[in-house]
């Protein structure tokens, strides 16, 4: 072997070593930052149509125009759904004697405010269950916005305007920028919203996101719960999601809420019931609590690599990240 070939052989070995170290470092970083990496890669890994071009087929309620579904769920509450939107979101218009509250603003794919105006003439306050784009995206047309009062949400205010962070909003999945929001009312956990003749208690329900909110209508035996729980697959692997927070919230709700509370959730659909306002019961919450216990004890076996999917019950599965970034 000549001197030059020994030299270039050494260089080749060094280059291979350097390249494999970079690759290994990349794998480690991708694993550590998996929630962020998966959100960033989502538009390429899971390309999707935003609106189904086919007419909506709803099992309950009526269509308003060709996009929104409106369902009277009783007790002065209307569910407003987006059955053609790929995430099938449902917002809730809760009507009091003096004002109304819209819980979630819709995805913003179409303007929901005309539908709301067709259902009530009362002044409307909008509050998002959490900051993800499919719940806050439709906020722009509304003048009065309420926000859960937490250090993390206060930190998003700059020059009088609230703007959710990139990984709080997650609009990057559909190339959407977080909207600037003028918050008119800050509601701390435990605050009571008086709509006239009915009141709602604000709860902080971390798990899906740290700043998730739920509204408890104690007299109506209802909890408007956003994305903490809903039929289909629960997302506990996105940036900010936490399995221990999920578990803690489940325990707290199970000890606080009466057993006959109906959970009105933000994503359709219940198995076997077609497209309709998605609800669950306290029994489903108990099943979620049990599933979270099994996951924490290592007694459940997931399918998939990222996210990992665990069974919960007939209505739900739970999608989590890796143990080290999803605590
Ligand atoms: Zn959602």
Contacts for 100 with CB less than 8 Å, ≥ 6 apart: 93, 94, 116, 120, 122, 123, 124, 125, 195
**Mean pLDDT calculated for residue range 256-261:** 97
pLDDT of residue 27: 61
213 CB neighbour count, 10 Å cutoff = 28
Half-sphere exposure of 247 (CA within 13 A, CB side): 14
Q: How far is the CA of 236 from the centre of ligand 1 (A)?
A: 12
Q: How far is the CA of 103 from the centre of ligand 1 (A)?
A: 12
Q: pLDDT by residue (tens digit) across 38-54?
A: 877 887 787 889 999 99
**Mean pLDDT calculated for residue range 267-294:** 97
Q: How far is the CA of 199 from the centre of ligand 1 (A)?
A: 25
pLDDT of residue 53: 96
Q: How far is the CA of 266 from the centre of ligand 1 (A)?
A: 7
Q: How far is the CA of 5 from the centre of ligand 1 (A)?
A: 60
Angle between helix 3-32 and 34-45 (nearest 10): 100
What are the helix and strand counts (H, E) for the chain? 8, 19
Q: pLDDT by residue (tens digit) across 182-217?
A: 999 999 999 999 999 999 999 999 999 999 999 999
Is pLDDT above 90 for 253? yes
- Could you give phi then psi for residue 101, rounded to 5 degrees? -125, 130
Extended strands (E) in the chain: 62-64, 68-72, 77-81, 90-95, 100-103, 124-127, 145-148, 157-158, 161-162, 183-187, 192-194, 199-204, 213-217, 222-226, 232-236, 262-265, 279-281, 308-311, 316-320
Is-cis flag, bond preceding 245, omega within 30? no
Binned at pLDDT 50, 70 and 90, residue 23 comes out as: confident
Is pLDDT above 60 for 31? yes
Query: Whole-angstrom Cα distance, residue 78 to residue 98?
Result: 16
Q: How far is the CA of 267 from the centre of ligand 1 (A)?
A: 7
**Mean pLDDT calculated for residue range 272-283:** 97
Q: How far is the CA of 169 from the centre of ligand 1 (A)?
A: 10
Weakest mean pLDDT among 6-10, 257-261, 306-310: 6-10
pLDDT of residue 327: 78
Q: How far is the CA of 64 from the centre of ligand 1 (A)?
A: 22
**Mean pLDDT calculated for residue range 246-263:** 98
Q: How far is the CA of 143 from the centre of ligand 1 (A)?
A: 23
pLDDT of residue 34: 77
Q: Which residues pair with 199 in a beta bridge?
A: 194
SS3 state at 138 = coil
Q: How far is the CA of 87 from the centre of ligand 1 (A)?
A: 7
Q: How far is the CA of 18 from the centre of ligand 1 (A)?
A: 42
Weakest mean pLDDT among 31-40, 93-102, 134-143, 241-250: 31-40
Q: pLDDT by residue (tens digit) across 224-237?
A: 999 999 999 999 99
Q: How far is the CA of 8 from the centre of ligand 1 (A)?
A: 55
**Mean pLDDT calculated for residue range 286-301:** 96
Contacts for 259 with CB less than 8 Å, ≥ 6 apart: 282
Q: pLDDT by residue (tens digit) across 60-79?
A: 999 999 999 999 999 999 99
Is pLDDT above 80 for 28? no
Sorted by where each begins, the domain ranges of the chain are: 3-44, 52-325
Q: pLDDT by residue (tens digit) across 1-16?
A: 455 566 677 777 877 7
Binned at pLDDT 50, 70 and 90, residue 26 comes out as: low
Binned at pLDDT 50, 70 and 90, residue 56 comes out as: very high
Binned at pLDDT 50, 70 and 90, residue 291 comes out as: very high
Is pLDDT above 80 for 25? no
pLDDT of residue 45: 80
Q: How far is the CA of 222 from the centre of ligand 1 (A)?
A: 19
pLDDT of residue 158: 97
CATH 3.40.50.11900 is the classification of domain 52-325: no
Q: How far is the CA of 26 from the centre of ligand 1 (A)?
A: 30
> Within its chain, how far is the Cα of 261 from the centroid?
21
Q: How far is the CA of 132 from the centre of ligand 1 (A)?
A: 6
Average pLDDT along the chain: 93
Query: Whole-angstrom Cα distance, residue 77 to residue 277?
Result: 11
């Amino acid at each position: 072997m000549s001197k030059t070939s020994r030299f270039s052989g050494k260089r080749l070995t060094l280059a291979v070593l350097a390249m494999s170290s970079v690759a290994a470092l990349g794998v480690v970083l991708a694993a550590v930052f998996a929630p962020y990496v998966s959100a960033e890669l989502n538009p390429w890994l899971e390309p999707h149509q935003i609106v189904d071009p086919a007419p909506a087929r709803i099992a309950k309620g009526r269509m308003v125009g060709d996009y929104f579904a409106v369902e009277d769920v009783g007790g002065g509450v209307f569910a407003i759904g987006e059955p053609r939107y790929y995430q099938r979101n449902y917002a809730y218009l809760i009507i009091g004697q003096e004002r109304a509250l819209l819980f979630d603003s819709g995805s913003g794919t179409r303007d929901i405010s005309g539908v709301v105006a067709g259902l009530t003439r009362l002044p409307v306050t909008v509050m998002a269950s959490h900051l993800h784009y499919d719940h806050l995206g439709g906020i722009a047309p509304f003048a009065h916005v309420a926000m859960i009062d937490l250090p993390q949400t206060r930190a998003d205010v700059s020059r009088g305007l609230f703007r959710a962070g990139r990984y709080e909003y997650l609009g990057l999945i559909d190339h959407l920028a977080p909207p600037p929001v003028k918050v008119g009312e800050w509601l701390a956990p435990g605050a009571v919203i008086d709509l006239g003749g009915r009141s709602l208690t604000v709860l902080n329900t971390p798990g899906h996101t740290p700043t998730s909110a739920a509204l408890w209508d104690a007299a109506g035996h209802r909890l408007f719960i956003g994305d903490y729980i809903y039929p289909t697959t629960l997302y506990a692997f996105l940036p900010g999601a936490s399995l221990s927070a999920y578990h803690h919230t489940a325990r707290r709700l199970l000890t606080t809420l009466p057993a006959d509370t109906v959970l009105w959730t933000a994503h359709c659909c219940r198995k076997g019931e077609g497209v309709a306002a998605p609800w669950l019961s306290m029994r489903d919450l108990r099943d979620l609590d049990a599933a979270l216990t099994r996951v924490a004890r290592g007694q459940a076996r997931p399918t998939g690599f990222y996210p990992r999917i665990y069974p919960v019950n007939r209505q739900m599965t739970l999608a989590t990240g890796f143990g080290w970034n999803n605590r």
